[in-house]
Chain A
């Protein structure tokens, strides 16, 4: 299976994502430059964390119009697998591939710490290797990760099972204290209606080895790799 990691000017987790896929997951991976229009036949595209185009205007607003994103949008619309992490999640909402918006953290501070996530959906390829209710410890690092959507739309997302992860405490309870940024209903990650696009604020690529404090992030990469291979979305490799 071949992963692609997009590099925008200001991306700063592209090498982390690349290393997680290549050295820990052991899969093929290529960087995709923001000015390029070639997805290099990747089976999955990762939009990494960082501050694309300096976060000018709104986080993700300018990146969304870059040449590579036009290809990523077409790829996603035709069923291609896409993961947006942190800034990548912001880019996906700006591009209209995921609903809602990521607004300023309710406490206005940049927040960089370990959090607990509860897996809410195990139907998606990104979480298929997890069990429902499983708790993952994965770090966050963002100033604008406050997931916002209107009441009715939040309800629709929940009813359709499109909430992938919620912020919880160590025992798996959804509490206001466990919510690091004011996100509605403690939502940390969502998937699109078709199930091929995931956006999440926490950084799974920063939690792939015990030496990093947790290897729980690997569950996401392993899930999608195994799901992809099982569904023969990839060729012979």
Chain B
């Protein structure tokens, strides 16, 4: 029997949307002495395990991302399917 599939999803704020968390992390890094780091953008990361025989899975993952994992008003996502 085939192994289950995996998908990895990265969700980040769109360019231009303020990321207060990223800004605060960057400021902390500078305070720690890492003043080479000019900007930080934060995001979220998801791993999904998917049935080996799932049909039409690319479309479903895309749907899952835009309906739930990301808020398309302010965020964008990237999907990787390693196998």
Q: A-side interface residues toward B, CB under 8 Å?
A: 57-58, 61, 65, 93-94, 99-101, 103-108, 146, 148-150, 182
Give the complex CA separation of A58 and B74 in angstroms: 12
Interface of A is mostly: loop
Is there an interface contact between B24 and A108, defined as CB atoms closer than 8 Å? yes
A148 CB, min distance to chain B CBs, angstroms = 6
Question: Can you identify 29 A-B contacts, CB atoms within 8 angstroms?
Answer: A57-B68, A57-B69, A58-B71, A61-B68, A61-B71, A65-B68, A93-B73, A94-B71, A100-B73, A101-B71, A101-B73, A101-B74, A103-B17, A103-B20, A104-B20, A104-B21, A106-B18, A106-B20, A107-B20, A108-B20, A108-B21, A108-B24, A146-B18, A146-B20, A148-B17, A148-B18, A149-B73, A150-B16, A182-B20
**Chain A proximity mask over B41-80: 1 for CB below 8 Å, otherwise 0:** 0000000000000000000000000001101011000000
**Chain A proximity mask over B20-41: 1 for CB below 8 Å, otherwise 0:** 1100100000000000000000
Q: Please report the number of residue pairs spanning A and B whose Cβ atoms sit closer than 8 angstroms.
A: 35
Interface centre among B18, B20, B21, B68 (most CB of A within 10 A): B20
Of B16, B69, B74, the residue contacting A103 (CB under 8 A) is B74
* Closest 6 A/B residue pairs (Cβ): A101-B74, A101-B73, A104-B20, A106-B20, A108-B20, A108-B24
> Please, which residues of chain A bring their CB within 8 A of the CB of B69?
57
Give the complex CA separation of A69 and B45 in angstroms: 27
Give the complex CA separation of A94 and B71 in angstroms: 7
A63 CB, min distance to chain B CBs, angstroms = 12
A185 CB, min distance to chain B CBs, angstroms = 14
> Please, which residues of chain A bring their CB within 8 A of the CB of B17?
103, 148
> Please, which residues of chain A bring their CB within 8 A of the CB of B20?
103-108, 146, 182
> Please, which residues of chain A bring their CB within 8 A of the CB of B21?
104, 108
Give the complex CA separation of A96 and B69 in angstroms: 15
Closest B residue to A103 by CB, please name it. Answer: B74
* Extra pairs beyond A103-B17, A148-B17, A148-B18 (9, CB < 8 Å): A58-B71, A94-B71, A101-B74, A103-B74, A104-B20, A107-B20, A146-B18, A148-B74, A150-B16
A56 CB, min distance to chain B CBs, angstroms = 11
Give the complex CA separation of A65 and B64 in angstroms: 12
B54 CB, min distance to chain A CBs, angstroms = 21
> Please, which residues of chain B bring their CB within 8 A of the CB of A65?
68
